[in-house]
Amino acid sequence: MLFTPWTILILAAFGLTMWAQFRVKGTFSKYSEVPVSSGMTGAEAARHLLDSNGLSHIPVEHIPGTLTDHYDPMSKTVRLSDPVYFSDSISAVSVACHEVGHAIQHKVDYPMLVARHRIFPLVNLTSGVAPFLLLGGLFLKISGLFLLGIIAFSVAVLFQVITLPVEFNASSRARDLMIKMGYIRNSEEREVKAVLGAAALTYVAAALMSVLQLLEYIWLFKRDSDD
């Protein structure tokens, strides 16, 4: 294993990532046992919220698994997992409305979502070759190859950083609309924030770890260039 001055920070960020994943599962599980006051299921809330925002053409589909919920911008579909689609819990309605938040972002051309969509094809390309370029450049001592790896990896890091405001904005939209539409009472907003905040932390931790890794690669490149 290669140890650098950045190693401890990266390990700490990795620990934060593991803790964030544990927390989101625990928080989701906790509030999956708490029914929402409106009695709506995740599927019902998503359908109603889409229709209320002029998005009746977007289907709400059930997919297997847990925490596999997402909005697919290519097919313009909201997909909800088992514990979200059928449940009337605070966790289910919160997650469902969050995914609808992405659909609303798509409708209004939310700038950060547009930026993420535009670089996604490039991310698919660079994320596959970046590890090989970095490892090849590092162990073969080819600085040009290593630099190409850094550039390729930086695209993936940029994608993760752009994802942060996209996720926070979707959660903010979801909370506001859930209250406005009467899906939750004001007294339930704290629980909704806990569910969506735990999910957001996973994105923050992942982005932090990627940024630290990028800084480490830049440090290695500069060190080898100075030798």
Question: 75-133, pLDDT tens digit by residue?
Answer: 999 999 999 999 999 999 999 999 999 999 999 999 999 999 999 999 999 999 999 99
Report how far Cα 56 is from the mean position of its chain's Cα atoms. Answer: 25
For 208, the token pair is 């932090």
Number of folded domains that form the chain: 1
**33 belongs to a structural domain:** yes
Please give the share of the chain, as a percent, with pLDDT higher than 90. Answer: 89
For 174, the domain range is: 6-226
End-to-end CA distance of the chain: 21
pLDDT reported for residue 6: 82
Report how far Cα 13 is from the mean position of its chain's Cα atoms. Answer: 16
**135 belongs to a structural domain:** yes
**216 belongs to a structural domain:** yes
Of 33, 44, 61, 99, the catalytic one is 99
Active site residue 189: no
**188 belongs to a structural domain:** yes
Tell which wins on pLDDT, 47 or 67: 47
Is the pLDDT at 1 greater than 50, yes or no? no
- Distance separating alpha carbons of residues 116 and 114, to the nearest angstrom: 5
Residue 216 three-state SS: helix
**141 belongs to a structural domain:** yes
What pLDDT, in 10s, does the model give residues 27-43?
999 999 999 999 999 99
Report how far Cα 17 is from the mean position of its chain's Cα atoms. Answer: 12
User: What does pTM read for this prediction?
Assistant: 0.90
**1 belongs to a structural domain:** no
